[in-house]
A = this chain, B = another copy of it.
Amino acid sequence: MVLPMEMLDKLMNSKISIVLKDGRAVEGKLTGYDAYMNIVVDDAEEKDGDNVKRLGRVVLRGNSITSILQI
């Protein structure tokens, strides 16, 4: 059994991809999270097809997140 929060702990400092409810995908290094699945991502980039927008360090609200995966 891998609890979802343990999974986030294992992903710390790894590169992850996050899909948001509004359809945006954000990639970067997982730098922090809390019990609401709010997360902090470093060196974040927003990807929309071939377009890439550099975001730097970003806070994403857990309530806006659909899925998180290692890349």
Chain A: residues with CB nearer than 8 A to chain B? Answer: 1-8, 12, 20-24, 26, 31-34, 37-40, 44, 55-71
Contacts and interface: CB of A to CB of B under 8 A. Distances in A.
B2 A40 contact: yes
Given A22-B21, A23-B22, A62-B61, A40 B70 contact: no
A6 to B, nearest CB: 7
B12 A1 contact: yes
A56 to B, nearest CB: 6
Contacts of A55: 67, 69
A57 B31 CA distance: 18
B61 A65 contact: yes
Contacts of A67: 20, 26, 55, 58-61, 64
